[in-house]
Amino acid sequence: MDNTVEKQENIRKGWDGISRFFRANSIWMLMYCTGCCAIELPQAMTSRYDMERLGMGPMATPRQADVLLITGYLSLKTLRRIIYAYEQMSTPKYLVAFGPCTLNGGIYYDSHAVINRLDQYLPIDVYIAGCMPKPEAVMNGFNDLIGMIKRKEANGWKKYEQNKDWYRKNQIQALGELRIKDEFHE
């Protein structure tokens, strides 16, 4: 009896390992180009740095994507939509944040409309530093993410699911309510 359970566990682990191998080298991005850091993505994607050799590519919708890129500052209105997009993604999902604005607010640290710390609202797997981060930094960040996926460290989505209440509380505190319904949103 124990043996079969163990066997199943082993199969599950083996399967997990295989799928992690595939996941690590096939990362589809959803680019939510919120801020200025987005300008560094074209270089990272095209001939100079060629993101596709890591198996990365742009995707059109959150359902298909594996990683959500937050490229820069987030106003409250954007945060609302980012949370919606993030929750629509299929698991496992990862989140990469660009620049200091996502870290501590950056130059918008005192703005009434821009949040300071993104990790209060969504779990972030990798930060990429620089204002804006150079394409080398971007590629390095993605390499880190791939390494983390391989080492089973990119567990932001699990953290989000486990601590959903805490995240939800922070989100509500900043946003009032998550979804907005007015004459523009019927």
Interface contacts to other proteins, rule CB under 8 A: 15, 18-19, 22-23, 25-26, 28, 32, 46-47, 50, 52-55, 58-66, 76-77, 80-82, 84-85, 88-92, 103-105, 109-117, 120, 170, 173-177, 179-183, 185-186
- Paired strand residues for 155: none
**In the bound complex, what is the minimum distance in angstroms from residue 78's beta carbon to other proteins?**
9
**In the bound complex, what is the minimum distance in angstroms from residue 64's beta carbon to other proteins?**
5
For residue 142, what are its two tokens? Answer: 């993605």
- Residue 37 or 83 with smaller CB distance to other proteins: 83
- Residue 54 or 148 with smaller CB distance to other proteins: 54
- Residue 20 or 134 with smaller CB distance to other proteins: 20
SS3 of residue 100 by DSSP: coil
**In the bound complex, what is the minimum distance in angstroms from residue 137's beta carbon to other proteins?**
19
- Residue 69 or 115 with smaller CB distance to other proteins: 115
Residue/partner pairs of 75-79 with CB below 8 Å, 24 or more apart? 75/34, 75/113, 75/114, 75/115, 76/113, 76/114, 76/115, 76/174, 76/175, 78/32, 78/34, 79/115, 79/121, 79/171, 79/174, 79/175
For residue 120, what are its two tokens? Answer: 């209060």
